[in-house]
Structure 1
Amino acid sequence: MVTKDDIAWFKSNFFSKMTAATKGTPLTVDFLTALACQESGEIWPIARKKLASVDEVMALCVGDTLDGRGAFPKTLGELLSKPDGQRMFEMGREALVNMANVVGGTYKKVAGNPKKYCHAFGVYQVDIQHFLKEPDYFLQRQWATFDGSLRRAMGVLQFALKKRGFEGRSSLSDFELATVGIVYNTGGYKESKGLEQGFQPEGGKHYGQALFDLIRLAHTVPDPGADAPLLETPAAGQALIAAPSPVTRDGTPMKVAITDGMLRVRSEPRISDPPQANVVAHLPDGHPVRALAGPTRGFFQIETSLNGALVQGFSSAKFLVAGPSNQKIDVSRPADATAASRVVEVNMPEKAGVVTRRKDRATARSLNEKGAPGRSGTTPDELRAELGAIVDYLDVENPDFLRYQPTRTATFCNIYAHDFCRLAGAYIPRVWWSGQALMQLAQGKPVQPLLGNTLFEMRANDLFRWLRDFGAGFGWRQTGTLTKLQTEANQGAIGVIVARRREDGKSGHIVIVVPETADVTAKRDATGEVVAPVQSQAGATNFKRGRGRANWWKGEEFAESAFWLHA
């Protein structure tokens, strides 16, 4: 498995060459590093520890000795029948033996067969099927140098950028970069499948997901000469997620001026039917925005940041007024609110000798059954598996687990969200401090947790407000799109969709967004954007994993909704 030390070695040796190669493209050093890890990461991380020469390490970057190919050459005889086929076989055979002598493992055994030879060459792995059209790349050993392999790879990557429609872009997200890698691997990309495509070893991840994980890992290693990495390595039990997207486009400073409710941001400059259908965010009175264009048909095109979410869309010109010329739009980050805060996490105190179980009807107390799973992994694979184990443990579909089963008068989405997050190491309250208790805590006074006195039970509507008002202090931030929400959940982060009911006496709703699996995937539109993430909920209907009702959070019964993330 590739480590941060391996990535640091690769960057230190090839940083300047990768920087030069990516100039004028949206590709990055971290992407090229991750691609090298994905293509030949089972070779050079071992060889670099045994050989002093970087050139020798690069010359050992060969692989793929599997038989039963569908591409040329399907058999050794087919290769030998072509011009220079004997030379190509001898080169592939020599490369295998040399590599196996250093790397060992299963390659050592394979090399013992005199008919075995390598089918892929170079740190960026060019398949031997291209030998007929590009014999010089192979026979002149261009693949054996970093320069030669990188030059060949950049040609294919330029094709991949064009194939994905990314020509002319100055930057790409990690997800978009991973889709470029899928084209590099397969020659195409199917928007509906997301990252679950490309080569998949038996029992392993698809090429796209594996490459995405490596891109993120590369972000945790600083470039040579840099003071810090792009992303800090998270603590065990937390996911490595992208930083909030800042507002980068220039525009006219404006601010929200509304006296009733919230300002709706729409995906297009019109009021939809029903009115909530094209709403992408809700902005409070006084919130700063940048007007990028307009007004057109009574709408300004705007951009802003809301609790860490990049918000882009259209808002009614009637509710926007000029803002100060020096107006800044800061990006809220998790834990910003905790530094000087005296407001602390609270749970209903456990009662001696009482076990709160899934089989019992819900109370204000949190689960305390023994043997519950948690989240302590340090890799995306571990974190995904742990979140899956929590979903299966809580098993909201089990009729014996009365804690989550709806009754004629109540549903328990709020309790399931609390239980899931608590096991996963994130805090969403089951009970919270009263207003008087918060005032006492702010003054540094001790407060005893007493239900109905200093504590009250939290419903879904309360959780919507709590996330907005207190979430950043407990590691939460908003994100602007379902694609970002699902992408980070697939990294082992916790995703939440929450909607506040218009009538406070009626229930809002909250669901957990969980990692995709081989059996349950998100729904994507023709452009590849997620339109229905994988959700897990207790509600009127309980399900462990599913896509839920389409755009349920945009229902007219809800006043506003939001997507939240916790690493």
Structure 2
Amino acid sequence: MKYRVAALSADLTDLPPTMNNSTILTKIPFRHTVKLIEKTESNLWKVKLLNTDKEGYVAADDLEPFDSNLLKQSDIEIPNFEATSLSSLNSKIETYKPIGDSSIPFRDLSSVASKLKSIEKIIEILNVSKSYRYEKDESDTYCNVYAFDYCFFNRVYIPRLRWTDKALVELEKGNEVSLIFNDTVRPFYTNYLYDWFVESSSEFGWQKVSDVDTLQKMVNENGGIGIISAKRFIIHKSGHIVVVVPETEDHKAFRKNGKVIYPLQSQAGYDNYNYFAEERKDWWANQDPEKGYSSAIFYYHD
């Protein structure tokens, strides 16, 4: 019988976590599929993590039954690599994997105050304006990488990878597929991210917001995560994605007559900013056919 993770993530341990010497092998991402090996007498089940050789124990409460015979493409597990130390702020190696750095905190969901404080710390440590990981080069800018990292440490999901067509064929048959970069999985670029927000993000807790004033209020008041995603007129050119972040004592959105016109944002791209608002004005409304955006959307996640 197959199950999948119903929680934001679930700990896979080498021994039942009730034992003092158990070790967390990995955090299994939301919607990732596992194969049940044994239901123990406790609430901890032994499972195999599909598409890997890892086995261990996970809390049954974090799982939901999954019938692969009724598989729809929207049900296919999300391709996610584990965090690794090779993926770091000082390197461009394996930027398709989450950063494996224990000094970077995750958002503290205990209260609004703890959320706001930890978000500020995440921005400070990721330090997008200085970190080599996000520096533009001759071929690329890294807005999608920064947006993924920011969301990862804030405990919300946006995709970094997508299955290739040949991998989907096997997955739709219920077969396991190994994660091989540029073979079974490829990067999720910004124009794809726009489509993902429109088509699939609501399944992962995102909600569409009508305007930037509302988005900034929601982010400020709840310690939540805001996104602006814009799609290019020229589809083979990169779109853009930024995160809308809570205002602080030192960093504010730009308002006119009390209404937010340019929200407080953080981005990688042609220029990298830990915080910005008025500097790029309403960049998402640029209608230049060569450099502008055909459409832009605003999304929020608690």
Mark yes or no: TM-score above 0.5.
yes
Give the aligned partner of residue 344 of structure 1. 77
Distance 1:451 1:367 in 2: 16
Give the aligned partner of residue 40 of structure 2. none
Distance 1:428 1:486 in 2: 19
Distance 1:453 1:347 in 2: 14
Q: Which amino acid aligns with 1:416?
A: Y
Q: Which amino acid aligns with 2:150?
A: F
Q: Paired residue for 2:125, among 385, 393, 414?
A: 393
- The 8 Å contact of residues 90 and 132 in structure 2, kept in 1 or not, is answered as yes
Moved more, 381-390 or 445-454: 445-454
- The 8 Å contact of residues 83 and 99 in structure 2, kept in 1 or not, is answered as no
Deviations 1:93-129 (A, max 9, x none): xxxxxxxxxxxxxxxxxxxxxxxxxxxxxxxxxxxxx
- Structure 2 counterparts to residues 21-100 of structure 1, below 5 A: none
Give the aligned partner of residue 407 of structure 1. 137
- The 8 Å contact of residues 349 and 449 in structure 1, kept in 2 or not, is answered as no
Query: What's the secondary structure of 2:200's corresponding residue?
Result: helix
- The 8 Å contact of residues 342 and 441 in structure 1, kept in 2 or not, is answered as no
Query: What's the secondary structure of 1:396's corresponding residue?
Result: coil
- Structure 2 counterparts to residues 163-202 of structure 1, below 5 A: none
Give the aligned partner of residue 551 of structure 1. 282
**Are 1:563 and 2:293 counterparts?**
no
Distance 1:452 1:408, change over 3 A: closer
Query: What's the secondary structure of 1:432's corresponding residue?
Result: strand
Give the aligned partner of residue 96 of structure 2. 364
Q: Which amino acid aligns with 2:252?
A: T
Identical columns (%): 32
Distance 1:566 1:443 in 2: 33
Deviations 1:334-363 (A, max 9, x none): xxxx99852223223567xx5211001253
Moved more, 441-450 or 376-385: 441-450
Give the aligned partner of residue 250 of structure 2. 519
Structure showing greater relative contact order (alpha-carbon pairs closer than 8 Å, 6 or more residues apart)? 2
Deviation at 1:497, TM superposition (A): 0.3
Distance 1:476 1:439, change over 3 A: farther
Deviation at 1:474, TM superposition (A): 1.6
Distance 1:485 1:561 in 2: 14
Query: What's the secondary structure of 1:388's corresponding residue?
Result: helix
Query: What's the secondary structure of 2:155's corresponding residue?
Result: coil
Deviation at 1:538, TM superposition (A): 0.7
Distance 2:215 2:144 in 1: 19
Query: What's the secondary structure of 1:524's corresponding residue?
Result: strand
- The 8 Å contact of residues 194 and 229 in structure 2, kept in 1 or not, is answered as yes
Deviations 1:232-281 (A, max 9, x none): xxx99xxxxxxxxxxxxxxxxxxxxxxxxxxxxxxxxxxxxxxxxxxxxx
Q: Which amino acid aligns with 2:228?
A: I
Q: Which amino acid aligns with 2:301?
A: H
Specify which structure has the higher proportion of strand: 2
Query: What's the secondary structure of 1:515's corresponding residue?
Result: coil
Deviation at 1:508, TM superposition (A): 0.8
Query: What's the secondary structure of 1:387's corresponding residue?
Result: helix
Deviations 1:282-302 (A, max 9, x none): xxxxxxxxxxxxxxxxxxxxx
Distance 1:439 1:524, change over 3 A: farther
Q: Paired residue for 1:489, among 204, 219, 222?
A: 219
TM-score with structure 2 setting the length: 0.69
Q: Which amino acid aligns with 1:345?
A: I
Deviations 1:62-109 (A, max 9, x none): xxxxxxxxxxxxxxxxxxxxxxxxxxxxxxxxxxxxxxxxxxxxxxxx
- Structure 2 counterparts to residues 226-265 of structure 1, below 5 A: none
Query: What's the secondary structure of 1:392's corresponding residue?
Result: helix
Deviation at 1:440, TM superposition (A): 4.2
Deviations 1:286-343 (A, max 9, x none): xxxxxxxxxxxxxxxxxxxxxxxxxxxxxxxxxxxxxxxxxxxxxxxxxxxx998522
Give 1 or 2 for the bigger CA radius of gyration: 1
Query: What's the secondary structure of 2:159's corresponding residue?
Result: coil
Deviation at 1:442, TM superposition (A): 4.5
**Are 1:466 and 2:163 counterparts?**
no
- The 8 Å contact of residues 520 and 545 in structure 1, kept in 2 or not, is answered as yes
**Are 1:542 and 2:247 counterparts?**
no
Cα RMSD for the two superposed structures: 2.5
- The 8 Å contact of residues 501 and 560 in structure 1, kept in 2 or not, is answered as yes
Q: Which amino acid aligns with 1:342?
A: D
Distance 1:440 1:525, change over 3 A: farther
Q: Paired residue for 1:381, among 113, 120, 123?
A: 113
Give the aligned partner of residue 92 of structure 1. none
TM-score with structure 1 setting the length: 0.38
**Are 1:450 and 2:184 counterparts?**
no
Deviation at 1:504, TM superposition (A): 2.3
Give the aligned partner of residue 510 of structure 1. 241
Distance 2:157 2:167 in 1: 19
Q: Which amino acid aligns with 1:561?
A: A
Q: Which amino acid aligns with 1:470?
A: S
Distance 2:109 2:272 in 1: 27
Deviation at 1:448, TM superposition (A): 2.1
Distance 2:269 2:284 in 1: 13
Deviation at 1:445, TM superposition (A): 3.3
- The 8 Å contact of residues 345 and 427 in structure 1, kept in 2 or not, is answered as no
Distance 1:522 1:561 in 2: 19
Deviation at 1:541, TM superposition (A): 0.9
Specify which structure has the higher proportion of helix: 1
Give the aligned partner of residue 56 of structure 2. none
Q: Paired residue for 1:430, among 160, 165, 172?
A: 160
- The 8 Å contact of residues 190 and 239 in structure 2, kept in 1 or not, is answered as yes
- The 8 Å contact of residues 342 and 444 in structure 1, kept in 2 or not, is answered as no
Q: Which amino acid aligns with 2:226?
A: G
Distance 1:518 1:563 in 2: 24
Q: Which amino acid aligns with 1:516?
A: E
